Amino acid sequence: MLTNTEQRLTAIRQWLAQNNIDALLVPHEDEYLGEYVPAHNERLHWLTGFTGSAGVAVISQEKAAIFVDGRYTVQVTKEVPQDLFEYRHLIEEPALDWITQQLPRNCTVAIDPRMHNAGWLNQAQAKLAANNELVILEQNPIDLLWSDRPEPVISDMILMPDETSGQTSTSKRAEIAKLVSDTGADSAVITALDSICWLLNIRGLDVSCLPVLLSHAIIHKDASVEFFLDPARIPEQFASHVGQGVDVFAPEQLQQRLERLQGKKVLVDPNTSNAWFKLVLQNSGAEVLSIADPCLMPKAAKNDVEIAGMKACHIRDGVAMVQFLTWLDAEVLAGNLHDEAVLSDTLEQFRRQDPSLKDLSFDTISAAGGNAAMCHYNHANQPEPGKLELNTLYLVDSGGQYLDGTTDITRTIAIGQPSEEMIRQFTLALKGHIGIARARFPKGTRGYQLDILARQHLWAEGFDYDHGTGHGVGHFLSVHEGPQSISKKLIEAPLVEGMVLSNEPGYYRADEFGIRIENLELVVELETQGDFPVLTFESLTRCPIDKRNINVDLLTRPELAWLNDYHQKVWDDISPLVEGDVKEWLREATQPLAHS
Which CATH code for domain 5-145? 3.40.350.10
Kindly report, residue by residue over 132-169, the tens digit of the pLDDT.
889 999 999 999 999 999 999 999 999 999 999 999 99
Residue at 511: amino acid letter: D
Distances (CA, A) of 119 to 44, 47, 161, 288: 21, 25, 37, 13
Which CATH code for domain 158-293? 3.40.350.10
Residue 225: partners with Cβ closer than 8 Å, 6 or more residues away: 173, 199, 200, 217, 218, 219, 245, 246, 247
pLDDT band at 245; cut points 50, 70, 90: very high
pLDDT of residue 106: 86
List, by residue range, all CATH 3.40.350.10 domains of the chain. 5-145, 158-293
Of 32, 83, 90, 33, the residue nearest 57 (C-alpha): 90
Residue 430: partners with Cβ closer than 8 Å, 6 or more residues away: 517, 545, 549, 550, 555, 559, 563
Kindly report, residue by residue over 274-297, the tens digit of the pLDDT.
999 999 999 999 999 999 999 999
Kindly report, residue by residue over 316-336, the tens digit of the pLDDT.
999 999 999 999 999 999 999
pLDDT of residue 376: 78
pLDDT at 21 over 60: yes
pLDDT of residue 133: 87
pLDDT of residue 2: 55
Kindly report, residue by residue over 413-440, the tens digit of the pLDDT.
999 999 999 999 999 999 999 999 999 9
In percent, the amount of the chain with pLDDT more than 70 equals: 100
pLDDT of residue 423: 98
Residue 351: partners with Cβ closer than 8 Å, 6 or more residues away: 317, 320, 357, 360, 398, 400
pLDDT of residue 28: 95
Distances (CA, A) of 136 to 25, 95, 112, 276, 454: 11, 17, 6, 9, 45
Mean local confidence (pLDDT), 34-48: 94
List, by residue range, all CATH 3.90.230.10 domains of the chain. 301-590
CA dihedral 270, 273, 276, 278 (to 10 degrees): -40
Strand partners, 357: 402
Give the C-alpha separation, 400 to 351, whole Å.
8
Helices (H), 183-252: 193-200, 238-242
Of 497, 469, 495, the residue nearest 484 (C-alpha): 495
Mean local confidence (pLDDT), 353-367: 96
pLDDT at 383 over 80: no
pLDDT at 3 over 90: no
Output the pTM of the full model: 0.93
Residue at 402: amino acid letter: Y
191-200, 310-319, 522-531 — which is least confidently predicted? 522-531
pLDDT of residue 296: 97
CA–centroid distance for 427 within its chain: 27
Kindly report, residue by residue over 246-277, the tens digit of the pLDDT.
999 999 999 999 999 999 999 999 999 999 99
Q: Going by DSSP bridges, is the β-strand pair 133-136/108-111 parallel, antiparallel, or unpaired?
A: parallel
pLDDT at 202 over 60: yes
CA–centroid distance for 10 within its chain: 34
As a whole number of Å, the CA-based R_g of the chain is 25
CA–centroid distance for 362 within its chain: 8
CATH architecture of structural domain 301-590: Alpha-Beta Complex (3.90)
pLDDT of residue 572: 98
